[in-house]
A and B are shown apart, each in its own frame.
Chain A
Amino acid sequence: MSNPFIIEIQHLTKTFKHAAEPAVDNISFSINRNEIFGLLGPNGAGKTTTISILCGLFPPSSGTVSIDGKDLHSELSDIKNMVGIVPQDIALYPTLTARENLSFYGSMYGLYGKNLKDKIETWLEKLGLIDAAKRQVSTYSGGMKRRVNLIAGILHQPKILFLDEPTVGVDVQSRNVIIEHLKEINARGTTIIYSSHHMEEAENFCTRVSIIDKGRILTQGTPAELIRDNAGSTNLENVFLNLTNRKPRD
């Protein structure tokens, strides 16, 4: 029987140069195949650092990470082929059109020719961008940019998709479109690791969540389990506030 976990993290720690405290402090957890795993936490909790390490952007200070049975340190190039990322910031070239951006990013994942072209057209159509596809991205609204940003991460049908705040700053309509299509991608077999501040969205979207703060995991489970286990909580947001303190974060 194959390994039920697609990601296994053991004692992962990351301390940046000149930082007094580690950004990620000895965390261990596993993510099941085909689940939508939520990584929730306030600003500076260590969500983006964790995702960046899992994507191979920079190495951890210590600990081990295995992705689909491959070691992150020694088999990074294989891992990069199977993951997709939708970063928190819009990672697009503003002076290129949506089609040109997607064509470039798709090519970097090894897609080319008709296959690439068909995928671009399909996704532009699905996310309501086909009419604006010839326009430079700099002319797009925030919601449109988010949708192109999402397509750039999923065009190559990755096994694992990392989403870092994919719906931040977008209108309700765009958010719904994005979430619906993410569910569709998950239904086709892509494991999703999702980071967000939006608790209601996470409660409805994620199959399991982990709440982290100051680089440490505070709790983990399905949204229903976390609500049940935290007395007085009626939703995930109550759980989150109870665990991470109600004071505003920098």
Chain B
Amino acid sequence: MLHKLLATVKKELLLLLRDKVGLSVLFIMPVALIIVMTLIQDSAFKSINEKGIPVVFVNNDQDSLGNQILQGLMTNELCYTTDSINGKPANSELAQKAVSEGKFLVGIIIPKGATAAIRKNVTALVNETINGEAASSILPDSVEITILIDPVAKKSFLNAVTSNLREFISEVKTKIMFQTFSEQVAELIPDKEQAPKNSYQKSQIIQYKEIYASNATEKIVPNAVQHNVPAWTIFAMFFIAIPLSNSILKEKTEGSVFRLHTMPTPYLLLVNGKIIVYVLVCLIQFLLMLAVGKFLLPQMGLPALVLGNSMMGIFVLTLATSFAATGFGVTVGTLATTDHQAAIMGSLSILLLSALGGIWVPSYVMPEVMRNISSFSPLNWSLEGFYKLFLRGGGVADILPEAGKLMVFFFATMAISYFVNRKKRTV
């Protein structure tokens, strides 16, 4: 039996090595895909996180509110804020024109006298509180800040900017309130030494600290490389379904299957030869993709792929993914009756499973219904496993559920192939 298995493996290897188109699909296509997708997504990532969302700021107020919001936005990494357009100070008309032309995604106009209006309101409030003056003189807090929006701006970008804006306004308003309150109190207290100091202005009562919840010893920053390299590698590994199913169909159309079925060699042994070779191909693909992520992408100005802590975990998950992908290819090849059918069935089902599995769009941004469906995609199991290893610093034990599901998928596809093959022969 071992001789037969080795002969099958040798035959499959030779067939694969002589199929130049098949080889290019297996190795060149995924490398190209990883590079292109990572570059595209990395530049999109940079436009938000490095250079920032382009914002034009019109400060008609020229007082505390306008100045502090401008200062806050300028020091904020999310936005790239300027108060001039083509070297001229920005005004409402210029800002509206620039945003409508797509030069800025967002424009912010602070009206004239905004700080004064807030001060007036606050003073009236303080007087009411301290002196018991009638509230009728209090003006409504009606400072109107205009936000200009480029129609192409994503809702998420806009939300991020407006959220920051609200934060600054709230901060400035609080400061003005405290300042006015302190001044009013100081007037009531003759001993200036006892008057409250404005030290709160410099104090930061609540601070934020961002920590990525990962067990990795090496600092892992989520970026396009960390997401794209495993995602597209899994996609490529499942894409072997096309050459593999073609290899099965060629045996049918070229007549070899007729001879093979009359030989004293079990079906499973013949299929095992294919599985061994294609699992090997998947492992080589994976190594190649890792090398691209680790060594080639940094040469192109992208971050290098960080592998996490567990090489054994990576091996186990890659092996399980390889088996799942191979089993899927065997099933497509068994179900299809022509190579056209196999190509269409194989490519469409992989595209569908990858879309559902979070390869194109992360599953966490999908609607709940799709997220639930996503958890049935083997590509999603594999991707989740690699996220655990590459982003959360997980080990073998952490990815065992994903690896287990992938192996169950493999055995299920093999069982389907076996019974379909038997049924097809019972003509």
Q: Which residues of A contact B (CB under 8 A)?
A: 16-17, 55-59, 77, 80-81, 83, 85, 87, 89-96, 100, 103-105, 107-110, 112, 136, 152-153
**Binding stretch for chain A, among B14-22, B119-127, B374-382:** B14-22
A107 contact from B3, B15, B426, Cβ within 8 A: B3
Q: Could you say which residues of chain A place their CB within 8 Å of the CB of B263?
A: 80, 105, 108-109
Q: Could you say which residues of chain B place their CB within 8 Å of the CB of A109?
A: 263-264
Instruction: For A15, give the chain B residue with the smallest CB separation.
Output: B427
Q: Could you say which residues of chain A place their CB within 8 Å of the CB of B261?
A: 56-57
Bound: A180/B4 CA distance, A: 31
Q: Could you say which residues of chain B place their CB within 8 Å of the CB of A81?
A: 264
Give min CB distance, A210 to chain B, whole Å: 21
Instruction: For B262, give the chain A residue with the smallest CB separation.
Output: A55
Bound: A83/B264 CA distance, A: 9
Is there contact, CB below 8 Å, between A108 and B4?
A: yes
Is there contact, CB below 8 Å, between B14 and A58?
A: no
B258 at the interface (CB under 8 A from A): yes
Is there contact, CB below 8 Å, between B426 and A93?
A: no
Give min CB distance, A68 to chain B, whole Å: 14
- Overall SS of chain B's interface: helix
Give min CB distance, A96 to chain B, whole Å: 6
Instruction: For B3, give the chain A residue with the smallest CB separation.
Output: A112
Task: Evaluate whether A85 and B426 lie within 8 angstroms (CB atoms) in the complex, with A96-B11, A107-B3 already known.
Answer: no
A80 contact from B14, B19, B255, B262, Cβ within 8 A: B262
Instruction: For A16, give the chain B residue with the smallest CB separation.
Output: B427
Is there contact, CB below 8 Å, between B258 and A87?
A: yes
Instruction: Scan B1-35; emit 1 where CB is below 8 A from any A CB, else 0.
Output: 00110111011001100110000000000000000
Is there contact, CB below 8 Å, between A91 and B264?
A: no
Give min CB distance, B159 to chain A, whole Å: 57
Is there contact, CB below 8 Å, between B256 and A93?
A: yes
Is there contact, CB below 8 Å, between A93 and B262?
A: no
B7 contact from A85, A94, A107, Cβ within 8 A: A107
Q: Could you say which residues of chain A place their CB within 8 Å of the CB of B262?
A: 55-57, 80, 83, 85
Can you list 11 pairs linking A and B with CB atoms under 8 Å apart?
A57-B258, A77-B264, A81-B264, A91-B255, A93-B15, A104-B10, A104-B11, A107-B3, A107-B7, A108-B7, A108-B260
3 shortest A-B CB distances, which residue pairs?
A: A107-B7, A89-B255, A91-B255
Bound: A58/B231 CA distance, A: 43
Task: Evaluate whether A105 and B259 lie within 8 angstroms (CB atoms) in the complex, with A16-B427, A58-B427, A81-B264 already known.
Answer: yes
B191 at the interface (CB under 8 A from A): no
Bound: A27/B261 CA distance, A: 24
B254 at the interface (CB under 8 A from A): yes
B265 at the interface (CB under 8 A from A): yes
Q: Which residues of B contact A (CB under 8 A)?
A: 3-4, 6-8, 10-11, 14-15, 18-19, 254-256, 258-265, 425-427
Give min CB distance, A221 to chain B, whole Å: 29
Instruction: For A76, give the chain B residue with the smallest CB separation.
Output: B264
Instruction: For B260, give the chain A residue with the smallest CB separation.
Output: A108
Give min CB distance, B259 to chain A, whole Å: 4
Task: Evaluate whether A100 and B11 lie within 8 angstroms (CB atoms) in the complex, with A55-B262, A80-B264 already known.
Answer: yes
- Overall SS of chain A's interface: loop
Q: Could you say which residues of chain B place their CB within 8 Å of the CB of A153?
A: 259
Bound: A92/B18 CA distance, A: 15
B259 contact from A94, A107, A152, Cβ within 8 A: A152
Give min CB distance, A150 to chain B, whole Å: 12
Is there contact, CB below 8 Å, between B426 and A59?
A: yes
Q: Could you say which residues of chain B place their CB within 8 Å of the CB of A100?
A: 11, 14
Q: Could you say which residues of chain A place their CB within 8 Å of the CB of B15?
A: 93, 95-96
Instruction: For B19, give the chain A residue with the smallest CB separation.
Output: A95
Instruction: For A80, give the chain B residue with the smallest CB separation.
Output: B264
Bound: A44/B396 CA distance, A: 60
Is there contact, CB below 8 Å, between A57 and B264?
A: no
Give min CB distance, A182 to chain B, whole Å: 18
Is there contact, CB below 8 Å, between B425 and A94?
A: no
Q: Could you say which residues of chain A place their CB within 8 Å of the CB of B258?
A: 57, 85, 87, 89, 91
Bound: A160/B10 CA distance, A: 28
Bound: A189/B14 CA distance, A: 35
Bound: A131/B11 CA distance, A: 22
Bound: A24/B390 CA distance, A: 62
Q: Could you say which residues of chain B place their CB within 8 Å of the CB of A59?
A: 426
Bound: A85/B133 CA distance, A: 111
Instruction: For A152, give the chain B residue with the smallest CB separation.
Output: B259
Is there contact, CB below 8 Å, between B425 and A91?
A: no
Task: Evaluate whether A90 and B427 lie within 8 angstroms (CB atoms) in the complex, with A55-B262, A80-B264, A107-B7 already known.
Answer: no
Q: Could you say which residues of chain B place their CB within 8 Å of the CB of A85?
A: 258-259, 262
Q: Could you say which residues of chain B place their CB within 8 Å of the CB of A91?
A: 254-256, 258-259
Give min CB distance, B249 to chain A, whole Å: 13
Is there contact, CB below 8 Å, between B4 and A95?
A: no
Bound: A108/B258 CA distance, A: 13
Give min CB distance, A146 to chain B, whole Å: 13
Q: Could you say which residues of chain B place their CB within 8 Å of the CB of A96?
A: 11, 14-15, 18
Bound: A64/B6 CA distance, A: 36
Is there contact, CB below 8 Å, between A92 and B256?
A: yes
Task: Evaluate whether A90 and B259 lie within 8 angstroms (CB atoms) in the complex, with A58-B425, A103-B7, A108-B265 already known.
Answer: no
Is there contact, CB below 8 Å, between B264 and A58?
A: no
Q: Could you say which residues of chain B place their CB within 8 Å of the CB of A87?
A: 255, 258-259
In this complex, the member of A81, A90, A93, A108 whose beta carbon has the largest number of chain B beta carbons within 10 angstroms is: A108
Give min CB distance, A115 to chain B, whole Å: 11
Q: Could you say which residues of chain A place their CB within 8 Å of the CB of B14?
A: 95-96, 100
Other A-B pairs beyond A87-B259, A104-B8, 17, CB < 8 Å: A57-B258, A57-B261, A57-B262, A57-B425, A80-B264, A91-B259, A94-B254, A95-B14, A96-B15, A103-B7, A105-B259, A107-B3, A108-B263, A109-B263, A112-B3, A136-B18, A152-B259
Task: Evaluate whether A58 and B426 lie within 8 angstroms (CB atoms) in the complex, with A108-B4, A108-B263 already known.
Answer: yes
Bound: A233/B266 CA distance, A: 48
In this complex, the member of A91, A96, A136 whose beta carbon has the largest number of chain B beta carbons within 10 angstroms is: A91
Give min CB distance, B270 to chain A, whole Å: 8
Bound: A16/B426 CA distance, A: 9
Q: Could you say which residues of chain A place their CB within 8 Å of the CB of B10?
A: 103-104
